[in-house]
Amino acid sequence: MDKVLLFGRTNVGKSTLFNKLVGENRAIVEHEPGVTRDINFKDMEWAGKRFTLLDSGGMEFEEEDYFSKTIIEINNEMIQQSKLVLLVVDYKMGLTAHDKELAVYLRKKHDNVIVVVNKNDNMDDTWEFHELGFDRYISVSAIHGRNTGDLLDLINENIDYDPSKDDQEETKRIIIVGKPNVGKSSLFNRLAEKERAMVTPIAGTTRDFVEEEIELEGKKYVFVDTAGLRRKRSIYEKVEKHSVYRTVKAIERADLAILMLSAEEPVSTQDTKIAGLIKEAGKSVIILINKWDIISDNKDDILKNKVQEIREKLHFISFAPVLFISALTGQRVKKISNMIEQVFDIYYREIPDRILNDNFLPVIKMKLPEVKFIKQVKKGPPHFLIFASKKLHFSKKRFIENVFRENIEFEGTPIRFIFREPE
């Protein structure tokens, strides 16, 4: 599908326009320049045509900090990949020197540009913006939704679409979660083989989701890099609160969660809470211990102790496989793809009634004769219906899960049980 890029200086309303066009709050909107640090994107359909809408970080040539330089590099790549660029300007502020600078910059890099004059609530004349030197202009009010349908029509006129090239199979979604600064974005960029998420030693530099379709060993997945989930008392900004809420919702939408921990730090209360969110959402899970390259002495003992600590503190996801990696150096990162595929095979496995009742029911009935029949009723994660002739105590239900886990490979996958028993 063609890509359409929202481009412009900071605080002209790109993220508000993005949210209005896609119909959901995917990009964080706050009246603070530079809030959008990462690329947000959404596959869309309008009037029979499909395309991918991209929301970019605001361009600031004058700033010398790491964030601004990285945004310029990322935006350069997005411009090259896009079929159409929408240069968003602010009607209320008027034409600025920075707008002119961006127009000169853009004319050198792309020949399919539409100027979108945002915040024009009354659809007034926009003659001053024609000084930017482009052929096509349209006024919108993103916050009120005015003229956004006309903008979508104009987008359709300037992109190509071949429905025969659509991939009908829904790509599995993998979300990377963890505390700030454990290396989520470093892993994301290592897997994507490009810098899409900002990587700095500063905790919390990823505020928006970053999504990328990545091919690993011939299989495509959508990876989602998230803002680090902080302790509640440190979430004081409105932006941070919204970002945490969206991360929780994103876990619910994912098929698999990669929980990243740091080899440098003990498992914290916050790590435990994040693991609990994954467990509660019923997602398959892999635990990655990052920054393994930093550990130089007594690696065998540290590895053994770390796994033991994880199994004790995160006992409720004890089924999760653990892999020690270095996202920075790439050490053991290639093992992730095989682990992902194995976990997905288990997550979506279907076990025939015959195997359940001929092989595993007798083991259960040795201790629980009241259990009469087992049937798998759902996958992703596996759900099993247990028929019993009398009510089962919690400890007996836990025994049933233990029998399943001891006799069937469920690594990385939660199991759900539905009990049919007398009242």
Which residues fall within 8 angstroms of residue 341, CB to CB, at 6 or more apart?
A: 217, 219
In this prediction, residue 246 carries a pLDDT of 64
CA torsion angle 199 204 208 210 (round to 10): 30
Contact predicate 38/198, CB 8 Å: yes
Same-domain status, 201 and 302: yes
C-alpha span between 392 and 131 (Å, rounded): 77
C-alpha span between 84 and 157 (Å, rounded): 10
Same-domain status, 267 and 210: yes
Domain harbouring 388, CATH code: 3.30.300.20
For residue 387, the cross-strand partners are 373, 420
Domain housing 237: 172-347
Residue 198's SS3 state is coil
C-alpha span between 174 and 222 (Å, rounded): 6
| Residue at which a domain ends, from 326, 347, 368 | 347
For residue 85, the cross-strand partners are 5, 113
> How many Cβ atoms are within 10 Å of 325's Cβ, its own excluded?
24
End-to-end, the C-alpha distance of the chain in Å comes to: 54
Which residues fall within 8 angstroms of residue 345, CB to CB, at 6 or more apart?
A: none
The predicted-structure confidence for 268-291, as pLDDT tens digits, reads as follows 998 998 999 899 888 999 999 999
Same-domain status, 258 and 328: yes
Same-domain status, 368 and 234: no
Same-domain status, 315 and 289: yes
Q: Where are the alpha helices (DSSP H) in 208-261?
A: 238-253
Contact predicate 83/111, CB 8 Å: no
Tabulate helix, strand, coil % of the chain (nearest 5): 35, 20, 40
Please list the pLDDT of the chain residue by residue as tens digits (423 residues): 899 999 998 889 998 999 889 875 544 444 444 434 456 777 788 888 889 898 877 776 665 554 556 667 777 878 988 999 999 999 999 999 999 999 999 999 999 999 999 999 999 999 999 999 999 999 999 999 899 999 999 999 999 987 766 554 568 999 999 988 898 888 988 998 865 444 443 334 344 567 788 889 889 898 988 755 555 444 345 444 545 556 677 788 899 999 999 998 999 998 998 999 899 888 999 999 999 988 877 788 889 999 999 999 999 999 999 999 999 999 999 999 999 999 999 999 999 999 999 998 999 999 999 999 999 998 888 999 999 999 999 999 999 999 999 988 999 999 999 998 886
In this prediction, residue 228 carries a pLDDT of 54
| Number of structural domains the chain divides into | 3
In this prediction, residue 421 carries a pLDDT of 82
Same-domain status, 72 and 160: yes
For 315-368, the DSSP string reads GGGTTS-EEE--TTT-TTTTHHHHHHHHHHHHHT----HHHIIIIIHHHHHTT-
In this prediction, residue 74 carries a pLDDT of 72
| Residue at which a domain ends, from 319, 347, 375 | 347
| Tokens, residue 166 | 């659509």
Same-domain status, 280 and 379: no
Known binding-site residue numbers: 8-15, 55-59, 118-121, 178-185, 225-229, 290-293
Contact predicate 119/91, CB 8 Å: yes
* Angstrom distances, CA of residue 182 to CA of 67, 204, 236, 346: 19, 10, 21, 27
The predicted-structure confidence for 370-414, as pLDDT tens digits, reads as follows 999 999 998 888 999 999 999 999 999 999 999 999 988 999 999
Same-domain status, 412 and 293: no
Q: How far, rounded to the nearest angstrom, does the alpha carbon of residue 287 sit from its chain's CA centroid?
A: 16
Known binding-site residue numbers for GTP: 8-15, 55-59, 118-121, 178-185, 225-229, 290-293
For residue 223, the cross-strand partners are 174, 212
C-alpha span between 413 and 411 (Å, rounded): 6
C-alpha span between 80 and 34 (Å, rounded): 22
Domain harbouring 8, CATH code: 3.40.50.300
| Residue at which a domain ends, from 165, 185, 219 | 165
In this prediction, residue 203 carries a pLDDT of 37
Which residues fall within 8 angstroms of residue 37, CB to CB, at 6 or more apart?
A: 57, 67, 71, 198, 205, 206, 207, 208
In this prediction, residue 251 carries a pLDDT of 86
Residue 381's SS3 state is coil
Same-domain status, 86 and 8: yes
Same-domain status, 378 and 317: no
Same-domain status, 287 and 391: no
Residue 97's SS3 state is helix
Contact predicate 218/168, CB 8 Å: no
Same-domain status, 389 and 267: no
In the DSSP assignment, the letter for residue 167 is: -
Q: Is the pTM of this model over 0.95?
A: no
Q: Where are the alpha helices (DSSP H) in 46-147?
A: 66-81, 97-107
